[in-house]
Amino acid sequence: MTINYLGSISADDLPATFTKFFLEPVSVGFPSPANDYLESPIDLNQYLIKNGAATFLVRVSGDSMLNANIADQAILIVDRSLKPKHGSIVVASLDGDFVCKRLQLKPRLCLLPENSKYQPIYIQHGQDLDIMGTVTAAINKFE
């Protein structure tokens, strides 16, 4: 093989589409056919988290939401920026504890468990219900 020196080139002078080509390491073997199709690996954060600044993780303790596919020790993705709606699963503060329940706004304000072993929690007049955020996903780990 012979090499002809054609002069030097600076990557800065090139249009963006060429840059990639010239910056690739030059290897002797056949170039990987996948090079032009490189994509970044799948990122779970991207799938699970829409608004990072407003998203918090909460660990579940107990099985009161089992029928909503939220097992004991699951990790909840809680987004504070979403307005909780009727039927949303929320994390709320109740008498100093966080609880994860389904929010019912009508006919009566109440927090519903998803397990027949547990009773609905009715919010009395004058009782404070602080909703921390809406649960957008739950991660159950099996192993």
Partner 1 sequence: MKLLALVDCDNFYASCERVFRPDLKQTPVVVLSNNDGCVIARSKEAKSMGIKMGVPWFQVKKAYLARGGRVFSSNFALYGDLSKRVMNILEGMVKKIEVYSIDEAFLDLQHIQNSKQAYEFGIYCRSTVHQWVGIPVRIGIAPTKTLTKIASHVAKHTNGGTGVCCLSKQKHIAHILKTLPVNEVWGVGRNLSKQLNQLGTHSAYDLMKMDIGFIRKKFSVVLERTVRELRGEPCIQIQNHIEPKKQIVVSRSFRGKIEGLNALKPLISNFAVRAGEKLRHENQKCSQVSVFISTSRFGKQPQYRGFNSFRFSHPINDTRSILMGANTALDIAFQEGYAYAKAGILLSQFSCPTVIQKSLFETMNQLYALKQDENLMQSVDELNSHQTQIYYASQRPSSLLPIQKRMVSPRYTTNWLELPTAL
How far are the Cα atoms of 18, 29, 30, 38 from residue 33, in angstroms, in the given order? 17, 12, 8, 10
Q: Rule CB under 8 A: choose which of 19, 32, 69, 93 binds partner 1.
A: 93
Query: Of the residues 101, 116, 117, 141, which is catalytic?
Result: 101
Q: Would you say the C-alpha torsion 124, 127, 133, 138 has a positive or negative sign?
A: negative
How far apart, in whole angstroms, are the C-alpha atoms of residue 98 and residue 20? Answer: 51
Q: Name beta bridge partners: 100.
A: 91
Report if residue 53 touches partner 1, rule: CB under 8 A: yes
Are the C-beta atoms of residues 60 and 78 closer than 8 Å to each other?
A: no
Query: Of the residues 8, 32, 40, 64, which is catalytic?
Result: 64
Q: Rule CB under 8 A: choose which of 32, 61, 67, 140 binds partner 1.
A: 61
Smallest distance from partner 1 to CB 60, Å: 6
Question: Quick check: is 101 catalytic?
Answer: yes
Question: Nearest Cα to 113, choosing from 125, 99, 124?
Answer: 99
List the end-to-end C-alpha distance of the chain, in Å, as a whole number: 55
Structure-block tokens of residue 21: 């080509």
Question: Quick check: is 50 catalytic?
Answer: no
How far apart, in whole angstroms, are the C-alpha atoms of residue 62 and residue 51? Answer: 27
Report if residue 110 touches partner 1, rule: CB under 8 A: no
Q: Which is nearer to partner 1, 60 or 104 (CB)?
A: 60
Report if residue 56 touches partner 1, rule: CB under 8 A: yes
Q: Rule CB under 8 A: choose which of 48, 132, 137, 139 binds partner 1.
A: 132
Q: Which is nearer to partner 1, 13 or 95 (CB)?
A: 95
Q: Which residues are the active-site residues? A: 64, 101
Give contact residues for partner 1 (rule: CB under 8 A). Answer: 51-54, 56-62, 64, 75-76, 80-81, 91, 93, 95-100, 130, 132
